[in-house]
Structure 1
Amino acid sequence: MKALVARLDSFGDVLLAGPAVRAVAARADRVTLLCGPLGAPAARMLPGVDDVVVWDAPWVGFEPPPVVASDVARLVERLAQDPPDVALVLTSFHQSPLPLALLLRLAGVARLAADCEDYPGALLDVRHQRRPHRHEVEAALDLAEAAGFPLPEGDDGRLAVRRPPAGGCPAGEDGYVVVHPGAAVPARRWGQERYAATVRLLQRAGYRAVVTGGPGERGLTASVANGAALDLGGRTGSAELAGVLARAAAAVVGNTGPAHLAAAVGTPVVSLFAPVVPAERWAPFGVPHVLLGDAGAACAGTRARVCPVVGHPCLGTVSPEDVLAAVEKLTGRAPGLAKWTEWTP
């Protein structure tokens, strides 16, 4: 049986689909993952994925491409050359699976499953109702099971990626703290100066800090590291970053893709979590973590890209000292405090 799993969103969203992909792979002969360009690096890291098809959907993302008939036709033609027997369309709670379901039907997919609130007509064979308050990982697993792909025995359902590349780690000896100051969405950023102060505080407390970021974030990481920490900005691809995170004692990061990558390699996370999206759906999954931020702030649940409240109070109340204390909690140096939201498996 040939199966297709679709998750058209960003890097972190695709990582969160990983356990559902493994559930499908346990019963399918071949699994294709259909994803967008931002999610492709994560797709290639997921266990159970045999092929990756990349398509930039015009209804997904912050800067979606225009609707071009020839682009849509090319995707349909490509999938129709060897159509999957079954497809799962994974979406967030606020997205519709029906545009993609239509294209998959046109490509000849015989059986389609998705979470769907809207009437699907002939587009879905399994119209699953998402349970309330489910994490994105759990919701995807629920859909997979409803479609006939329960998680196999012995799989703990946590995030996972293929083993990071062998060789020396650019961060050096294990046990450092990764500080990742960037985030694609401005509303989820804590602030360059606060991250820099946190690095200095970590170093004074005896931790070795390693600052990470993408190629476009080199100025940010250099400023945050400021000569006090190892600056790996722009020096690690996705697989190399997984290796750096796997050897860390903890990661300090906002609600962005590297937080989920840290969880996928089993590293505890101090999450600077702006509540523009709910933590119950998007918090680091399956690893010890501490959420810092005001979950009751006025921006909660708005899905805002730019903070709608002057002063960014949801994260502005978090201090570098709060972050240090959370790192100490997760690394076993200090007891936890009730002001934080934390989870330990």
Structure 2
Amino acid sequence: MILVLRALGVGDLAAGVPALRALRAAFPDRTLALAAPAWLTPLIELIGGVDRIVATDGLAAPPALPAPELAVNLHGSGPESHRLLQALAPGELWAFACAAAGHPDGPTWAEEEHEVRRWCRLLSHYGVRADAADLSLAVPGAGAPRGVTIIHPGAKCPARRWPRFAAVARGLAARGHEVVVTGSAGERELALAVARDAGLPPAAVLAGRTGLDELAALVAHARLLVSGDTGIAHLATAYRTPSVVLFGPVPPRRWGPPADRAYHRAIWHGARAERGDSMEPGVHPALLRVGVDEVLAAADEAEKARHAVAA
């Protein structure tokens, strides 16, 4: 059995797709098990090739498994994730070098590396080639409206929550877009407020009303997505849906869509990259520098670029 650790969220899972597919191709006759949160199961099934999902919520405890032939750490470079896998006594561990965990032979972690390329480089160190452009997901069979424009105002941390989504939603609706507002159940009040301020009816608020497979289907068939740097933006990348993604505190060079796709527009006005999210109150300054007219113009450009590709 090949066990892969990626016990994180939607965007993290999407960024690991090329590495997972490369492992599937490299070990076609082995069981490929993915240690990840159980709630991600609908999205994991859209990747294809994962034989077993091992419910793993963070790094609190190792999964209850026999020793795998190979353990692959696609979670991080710190000692916690290394030790969780080492506790399973795998025949071999593929991971970034970590002296604190007694694993010195992996490649060196590069903080500013793009998340997708990071894991492809890890596998390359061990002789497995991964295609960083292999980001697509299967389209779910779940029913979803087609051709809508999605506004997704929420994000895990307060620093990523741009405060002007309602004005963008109003502007897009005035241009003829059928706008819906998405989010988790915990973000429903935020979504309702955005819809109200944009003049949208309550029925346009889908936050808390879609499962992961339904959300993926919605994005796959959408006209456009406008969001912060959060998981749904990676679904737009997977389905080649035109998108405008607002970045802060982490820049798009680390988590953004492929730079060669003009129909994914990343907006970043930061002076420097932060190490990661902050759960402190307040929106990151890079996001506060983003203007409504700038986002609307980027939305127009993304749509035009997608039509040019399709022509």
Quickly name the TM-score band, shorter chain normalised: 0.7 to 0.9
Q: Give the whole-Å Cα distance in 2 for the aligned partners of 1:305 and 1:134.
A: 20
Q: Give the whole-Å Cα distance in 1 for the aligned partners of 2:239 and 2:18.
A: 13
SS across alignment from 1:198: helix
1:338 corresponds to which residue? none
Contact 1:11 1:40 in 2 (8 A): no
TM-score by length of 2: 0.85
Give the structure with the larger helix fraction: 2
Q: Give the whole-Å Cα distance in 2 for the aligned partners of 1:278 and 1:196.
A: 23
1:6 corresponds to which residue? 5
- Tell me if 1:79 matches 2:65: yes
Once the two structures are TM-superposed, the CA of residue 325 in structure 1 deviates from its matched residue by 0.6
SS across alignment from 1:115: coil
Contact 1:144 1:150 in 2 (8 A): yes
Once the two structures are TM-superposed, the CA of residue 312 in structure 1 deviates from its matched residue by 4.4
Contact 2:158 2:283 in 1 (8 A): no
The match for 1:134 among 107, 113, 125 is 113
- Tell me if 1:290 matches 2:228: no
Q: Give the whole-Å Cα distance in 2 for the aligned partners of 1:177 and 1:285.
A: 21
Q: Give the whole-Å Cα distance in 1 for the aligned partners of 2:186 and 2:283.
A: 25
- Tell me if 1:118 matches 2:99: yes
1:108 corresponds to which residue? 89
The match for 1:213 among 178, 183, 189 is 183
Once the two structures are TM-superposed, the CA of residue 164 in structure 1 deviates from its matched residue by 1.1
- Backbone CA RMSD of aligned residues: 2.6
- Tell me if 1:179 matches 2:151: yes
The match for 1:99 among 73, 77, 80 is 80
Cα deviation, 1:26-74, whole Å, max 9, x if unaligned, reads 122221111245655543432221111122335xxxxxxxx6xxxx3xx
Change (3 A) 1:327 1:265: same
2:309 corresponds to which residue? none
Return the letter of the residue paired with 1:282.
W
1:251 corresponds to which residue? 225
The match for 2:252 among 261, 271, 279 is 279
Change (3 A) 1:132 1:107: closer
Higher mean alpha-carbon deviation, 11-20 vs 214-223, is at 214-223
Q: Give the whole-Å Cα distance in 1 for the aligned partners of 2:141 and 2:283.
A: 42
The match for 1:267 among 238, 241, 248 is 241
Return the letter of the residue paired with 2:255.
W
Contact 2:72 2:94 in 1 (8 A): yes
% same residue: 34
Runs of 5+ consecutive residues of structure 2 not aligned to the other structure: 307-311
Return the letter of the residue paired with 1:140.
W
Equivalences for residues 194-233 of structure 1 within 5 A: 194-226=164-196, 227-228=199-200, 230-233=204-207
Runs of 5+ consecutive residues of structure 1 not aligned to the other structure: 59-66, 335-345
The match for 2:287 among 312, 315, 319 is 315
Q: Give the whole-Å Cα distance in 2 for the aligned partners of 1:79 and 1:215.
A: 33
Change (3 A) 1:38 1:295: farther
Contact 1:8 1:39 in 2 (8 A): no
1:63 corresponds to which residue? none
Q: Give the whole-Å Cα distance in 1 for the aligned partners of 2:86 and 2:190.
A: 45
SS across alignment from 1:26: helix
- Tell me if 1:143 matches 2:122: yes
Once the two structures are TM-superposed, the CA of residue 215 in structure 1 deviates from its matched residue by 1.5
Cα deviation, 1:116-171, whole Å, max 9, x if unaligned, reads 253553x47x51224564311111011122223223xxx663322233124x32x3
SS across alignment from 2:278: coil
Contact 1:134 1:280 in 2 (8 A): yes
Change (3 A) 1:211 1:135: same
Change (3 A) 1:303 1:38: farther
Once the two structures are TM-superposed, the CA of residue 106 in structure 1 deviates from its matched residue by 3.1
